[in-house]
Each structure stands twice: as C-alpha cells, then as structure tokens.
Amino acid sequence: FAEIKKHTKEYFFKLLVIGEIGTGKTSFINRYVHKQFSTQYRATIGLDFALKVINWDKNTIIRLQLWDIAGQERFGSMTRVYYKEAVGAFVVFDVTRKQSLDHVIKWKSDLDAKVCLPDGEPIPSVLLANKCDLNKDEYATNASLMNQFCEKHQFSGWFYTSAKNNINIDECANFLISKVLEKH
C-alpha cells in the first residue's frame, strides 16, 4: 500500500464557470457533480461552489473546486476576487440566444484581464454551447464559425452541451482537465 501511495499524485484545481444569466452554468455543474437536472430556474446570487473528486488514472487524483459565478456578477466588481488562483474556466452560452454568445467575449476578456498563467498566457478555457437539445441559433450551428470564434478569442476548444440530456458533460470537463494538466 505504501508503495502505491508513493506514486499517487494529487492535484487541486479551481475551475470557474462563467457566462450570461440563465445560460445553464448551475445546471451544468449539477449535472456534472450531482447527476441531476431541474427545469426550474433559480438565479445564482453571488456565487456557489461544488466539489468533485476524480480518479483520473491509477496514479492521479484530482480534486476539483467548481466556482459557479452568477451571470449577474459581470456587472459586479467581485470577479477579480472570484477568479484568483483559478487554473481553468468554462464559459457558457445558450445556443438559442445569440446575444449570450456576444457576451462570451466580455466574459472572456474579463477573465484574461484578471487571471493568467505564470508565463502570462491565458488559463485554459472551454466554450460551452449549452442547451443543444433545443433549436440552435444559426451561428451556433456553424462549426467552422465556432472554431474561428474560439481561435480568435483564445479558447482551448468548444463543445455542444446539454445539461438537460447529459450531452458532452463529462467529455468537456475531461478536455479542460487535460488542458490544465498540461500546464501543471
């Protein structure tokens, strides 16, 4: 047992979940961490937390702390404090609302202005095109436009997700974690 323990690596990662009001940040976390979904909307006030422990591989344990930041906070002054020491971020928009994608640009630039890697590069981030179970806005159906958008705004990648139907939830999280691991 001591031999096994010696080779076990443990990480603690603070990940942010940001994006406009009602895009599904809390729902994403509830699906990912608690395997639950509710159609009822209860706005997050300030922020919330969730923890998840992942046995990444036989030698690696990852403790995730997910910071669920209220969409309303973009207009607040607390984001600097919230973003401190984050190593990765999910930026969520709602595929049925093009406006929420426009706002992604503001969330992403706020993020990059307030937290970065020691070498000055942006922290890894993944764009979530959430509510993909519903009718998509035209822009959000165009994968090549989405790829361009991610390149331009320095996202590590993007995924269609549905917190409701459990689409790509583990996949996008594993993708972000692997990007974070490359830097640690």
Residues that bind ligand GTP (CB under 6 A): 21-27, 38-39, 41, 43-44, 70-71, 130-131, 133-134, 162-164
Report the C-alpha gap between 149 and 157 in whole angstroms.
10
Report the C-alpha gap between 147 and 55 in whole angstroms.
31
Q: Chain-centre distance of CA 92, in angstroms?
A: 7
- 127 phi and psi, to 5 degrees? -90, 125
Interacting partner of 23 out of Mg ion, ligand GTP, none (Cβ under 5 to 8 A depending on kind): ligand GTP
Q: How far is the CB of 170 from ligand GTP (least distance, A)?
A: 14
Among 13, 18, 26, 89, binds Mg ion (CB under 5 A): 26
Q: How far is the CB of 181 from ligand GTP (least distance, A)?
A: 26
By beta-carbon proximity to ligand GTP, the closer residue of 62 and 100 is 100
By beta-carbon proximity to Mg ion, the closer residue of 40 and 77 is 40
CB 169 within 8 A of CB 28: yes
By beta-carbon proximity to ligand GTP, the closer residue of 62 and 129 is 129
By beta-carbon proximity to ligand GTP, the closer residue of 87 and 163 is 163
Residue with nearest beta carbon to ligand GTP? 71
Q: How far is the CB of 150 from ligand GTP (least distance, A)?
A: 20
Residue that is written with structure tokens 């996202």 in the block: 155
Q: State the DSSP H helix or E strand holding residue 158, giving kind and residue range, or none if neither.
A: strand 157-161
Report the C-alpha gap between 133 and 115 in whole angstroms.
32
- 118 phi and psi, to 5 degrees? -55, -30
Q: How far is the CB of 131 from ligand GTP (least distance, A)?
A: 4
Residues between 30 and 89 that touch Mg ion (CB under 5 A): 44
Q: Quick one: DSSP state of residue 162? A: B
